[in-house]
Amino acid sequence: MIISINPYNNKRIKKYKELTPGKVKSKIENAHTAFLNWKETSFEHRAKLMKKAAEILRNNSEEYAHLMTAEMGKLLRSGKAEAEKCGWVCDYYAENAEKFLAPEEIKTDMSKSFVTFNPLGVVLAVMPWNFPFWQVFRFAAPALMAGNVGILKHASNVPGCALAIEDVFLQAGFPKDVFQTLLIGSRQVDAVIEHPHVKAVTLTGSTPAGRAVARKSGEMIKKCVLELGGSDPYIILEDADIEMAAEKCVISKLINSGQSCIAAKRFIVVDAVREEFERLLLEKMENQVIGDPFSPDTTIGPMARTNLRDELHQQVIQSINKGAKCLLGGYIPQIEGAFYPATILTNVEEGMPAYDEELFGPVAAIIPAKDENEAIEIANDTIFGLGAAVFTSNIEKGKNIAANLLDAGCCFVNDFVKSDPRLPFGGIKESGFGRELSHYGIKEFVNIKTVCVK
């Protein structure tokens, strides 16, 4: 069984019956049949339906936000913004897919040489709970506009969101089986990847989950895109606007109550401004309100599950035991729900979980650096490489650090890392490979075909 539980009060929302292997196989075969027709449709036709999906998302953003808040504890206003952002990505690909996938002529010694971009077929998406709508739509909008069809294995704690997303596409007029949700557990994923009609896989999730999917995809010689964890470094240099930097760092740290792959994780502060930065960060983190995610006054809702909260707390305690100093928080509140308070650890060093691991929650780790060079060295001293940011008043220096010196897929100067349909998104090292969004993302799941005519 698949059970959704409200992390605010630990009450069961609904129980769902998991699909049998036979039913899963049937759904994949239906998806392939749908693909044979869908790939022949025009970009104009697909765009009309995708625009309708965007309209549905915006018109029903409040309803979808309530669903997200109930199933994984997202702040209600954040859920509404997420649904609206999904509408944006649908509009973006409806308006640009045909241009992105137009045949590209290349001059050679042949009479005509060109490249076409043809859909692959059924694409499996294995998606996480933290942005239960956005993670799915940033895959589905480009995949469907390219002529592929999608099947979704969503996180088991957000089945209601998964079914609601399927319904968005049906309401918008997409043919039955062009996008389907598979209510299955992780044990059935390998069998789905093995099915001959499944041509590619995309996963957003943990590094262990990414390894498992990459291993199976590699065994079956199928294309995969992985967007995994991050331990995003935010460098605060001596010439930075410290007030602005602290404000941006808090916003980033507490996105989705800290449960974001691109949330700020490690604050690397040069010694000359560390005391001021710590003071400002403490002031801003102390003002956060923990509580009911449906309340407009709440700034930190519950974490998605109590086991995730408990794992985060162990990382904090182990870091403290190894010498980190706790300036704020660092305890499990004696209230119902999967809550963890805004927490600040300082004097964080190599060998501590707060330095070496991803802290997936409202915990800020401050790492001292004697100067700019050491700060950059510390920022790159991680197995991850998803996002990074640098704060400095010298814009040219900031651009150079971001463009040439930081090992990450998304680097920002004087702002926090965020995704945008117009920009490629993804990481390096153990943060995964491949790109989503922009024109790069839509080309991940197409056959880039060379055609030459003598």
Active site residue 227: yes
Q: Report the interhelical angle of 43-59 vs 159-171 (nearest 10°).
A: 130
Cα separation, 408 vs 138, in Å, equals 20
The beta strands (E) that lie in 21-158 are given as 104-105, 112-119, 122-126, 149-153
Q: What does the DSSP assignment read for 98-122?
A: HHHTS-EE---SSSEEEEEEEE-SE
Residue 155 falls in which region: left (phi positive, over 0), alpha (psi -120 to 50) or beta: beta
The catalytic position among 261, 358, 372, 436 is 261
What the block records as the tokens of 221 is: 């010689």
The catalytic position among 71, 227, 278, 357 is 227
Cα separation, 238 vs 74, in Å, equals 35
Active site residue 224: no
What radius of gyration do the chain's Cα atoms show? 23
Cα dihedral: 10, 15, 20, 24 (round 10): -80
Long-range contacts of 285-290 (CB under 8 A, 24+ apart): 285/250, 285/253, 285/328, 285/329, 285/342, 285/343, 285/344, 285/364, 286/328, 286/342, 288/254, 288/341, 288/342, 288/362, 290/333, 290/339, 290/341, 290/342
Helix/strand/coil (H/E/C) assignment for every residue in 171-229: HCCCCCCCEEECCCCHHHHHHHHHCCCEEEEEEECCHHHHHHHHHHHHHCCCEEEEECC
Residue at 108: amino acid letter:
T
Lookup result for tokens 């009479």: 111
Q: Report the interhelical angle of 76-100 vs 134-145 (nearest 10°).
A: 20
Q: How, if at all, do strands 266-270 and 363-369 pair? A: parallel
* Residues labelled as active-site residues: 227, 261
